[in-house]
Amino acid sequence: MKKWLSIVLLAMLVFSLAACGTQKDNQASDTKKETTNTKEVFKIGAIPDQNASDLNKGMTAVANYLSEKTGLKVEFVPSVDYAALVTAFQRGEIDMAWFGGLTSVQAVSLVPGAEAFAQRPRDAEFHSVFITQPGSGITKLEDLKGKSFTFGSESSTSGHLMPRYYLSEAGIDASKDFDGKPNFSGSHDATYKLVESGAFKAGALNEAVWQAAVQEKKVDTNKVKVFYTTPAFYDYNWTINSNVDDVFGKGSKKKVEDAILSITTKQKDITDFFQTDKFIETKNANYQKIKKVAKELNIIK
């Protein structure tokens, strides 16, 4: 009898231990499954080249659209300046960014495999405008010698790099031919406000921002006008990081690219912000002139 009782108790103990083991295995499996299903956040950025509130509104609209189209959790992350966005992209903290031509070149040179893949049609033939106050006596680039002048951000393609290049073509050395050192306003909207107020005799900025400011009556055209428009150059684009498929799964990069290229005027909050009706394909090779000019002016090595 004692022998049979011992056998029964032993069997119950083995069954109990097996059940506990199964429960722990199931818990571990559930935990692993939960970890596997945890979504990474796909972070997008943009150079802070205009009013922060407008930029946040437009880029948040892009983030919401991408979330809906791709199934990824997408968030817009503001940057304090152009250089900070390039650094964040290099570190993998930003997965895709709306760059200017120069910052795109900088980012691609720092992140092998990163690609500029989309732009607005106008970005294939972009322009900068030079502005001054009516009555200043400034009608051409050569007239800027001895006058106070403001660029936008130092890292801006249309607010610094290309205007500086065309100034040099006109025989003006921006480092010594103005009245004092050139100013850097930090953004295009700040540039036209500084010239409008009379703080500086002239300045250069992004053509699209200027046109929007005029259309929306954000600038007083009785106090400031365009006196020179540059020849065309490639500028803004969407650049995507090289590790997107590794982080978010195979095919994620193409999903994001296809989503951007599928934007139409049905996404009015996006197209209005970007002043376009669509995005078209581009490639890194289109920005070689930007890279060449930046090297000539010692802005990049």
Q: pLDDT by residue (tens digit) across 227-260? A: 999 999 999 999 999 999 999 999 999 999 999 9
10 part of a folded domain: no
- Provide the pLDDT for residue 200: 98
- Give the mean pLDDT of 96-100: 98
pLDDT score of 139: 97
Looking at the structure, tell me whether residues 169 and 225 fall in a common domain: yes
Look up the domain containing 291 and give its range: 41-124+234-296
Residues 222 and 156 in one domain: yes
Is residue 147 domain-shared with residue 195, that is, in the same domain? yes
Which of 229, 253, 278 terminates a domain? The answer is 229
pTM of this prediction? 0.81
Examine residue 19 and state whether it is found in any structural domain, yes or no.
no
Q: Which of 229, 246, 267 is at the close of a domain?
A: 229
pLDDT at 27 over 70: no
174 & 107 share domain:
no
Q: Indicate the pLDDT class of residue 39, thresholds 50, 70 and 90.
A: low
Average pLDDT, stretch 46-71?
Answer: 96
Would the pLDDT of 34 be above 50?
no
Q: Are residues 180 and 244 in the same domain?
A: no
Based on the domain organization, do 102 and 74 belong to the same domain?
yes
Q: Is residue 35 part of a domain?
A: no
As a whole number of angstroms, the distance between CA 259 and CA 272 comes to: 17
Residues 211, 70 within the same domain: no
106 and 51 fall within a common domain: yes
Instruction: Look up the CATH number of the domain holding residue 59.
Output: 3.40.190.10
Whether 195 shows a pLDDT value over 50: the answer reads: yes
In this structure, the answer to whether residues 84 and 133 fall within a common structural domain is no
Mean pLDDT score across all residues of the chain: 89
Do 110 and 155 belong to one domain?
A: no
- Domain termination site, one of 205, 229, 253: 229
**Number of structural domains in the chain:** 2
Residues 6+ apart with CB under 8 A from 252: 42, 70, 72, 244, 245
pLDDT tens digits, residue range 124-179?
999 999 999 999 999 999 999 999 999 999 999 999 999 999 999 999 999 999 99
For residue 15, the model assigns a pLDDT of 43
Q: Within a domain: residue 190?
A: yes
79, pLDDT greater than 80 = yes
The answer to whether position 279 is within a domain reads yes
Do 91 and 76 share a structural domain?
Answer: yes
CA distances from 2 to 7, 14, 16, 296 (A): 9, 18, 21, 97
Does 22 have pLDDT greater than 70? no
183 occurs within a structural domain? yes
Residue 5 belongs to some domain of the structure = no
91 and 154 together in one domain: no
Q: Is residue 7 part of a domain?
A: no
